[in-house]
């Protein structure tokens, strides 16, 4: 958690102390710390137990990984074909001139 802190004294904001006073607890309040939250991470890995190991995730996603690889290869082949066709058309155009 990332926050800015403002320290408020009893004399500056007595209303805060009234709202936050604890019944049945003997204490002498002097100041309150107000935290203005700037950022936080709900998914802090320090306190989250991993549910899956890397190998399990790899196995579960294997079909998608292989399909993505196949599509990338097909995409590269199609790019080469487009290049060859456009290059061929340019060569034909040059011969006609």
How far apart, in Å, are the Cα atoms of 45 and each of 1, 53, 60?
13, 14, 22
Instruction: Give the pLDDT score at 25.
Output: 84
Domain edges within the chain:
1-48, 50-97
CB 5 within 8 A of CB 37: no
Report the predicted TM-score, pTM, of the whole model to 2 decimal places: 0.41
pLDDT of amino acid 57: 92
User: Are 46 and 11 contacting, i.e. CB atoms less than 8 angstroms apart?
Assistant: no
Q: Tell me 52's DSSP state.
A: S
pLDDT in tens, 14-54: 888 888 888 888 888 888 899 999 988 777 777 777 788 88
pLDDT at 96: 66
Instruction: Please check whether residue 85 is in contact with residue 77, taking contact to mean a CB–CB distance below 8 angstroms.
Output: no
């Amino acid at each position: 958690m990332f926050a800015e802190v403002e320290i408020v004294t009893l004399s500056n904001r007595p209303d805060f102390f009234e709202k936050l006073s604890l019944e049945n607890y003997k204490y002498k309040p002097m100041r309150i710390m107000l935290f203005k939250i700037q950022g936080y991470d709900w998914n802090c890995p320090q306190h989250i137990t991993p549910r899956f190991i890397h190998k399990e995730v790899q196995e579960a996603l294997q079909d998608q990984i292989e399909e993505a690889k196949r599509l990338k290869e097909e995409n590269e082949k199609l790019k080469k074909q487009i290049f060859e066709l456009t290059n061929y058309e340019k060569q034909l155009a040059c011969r006609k001139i």
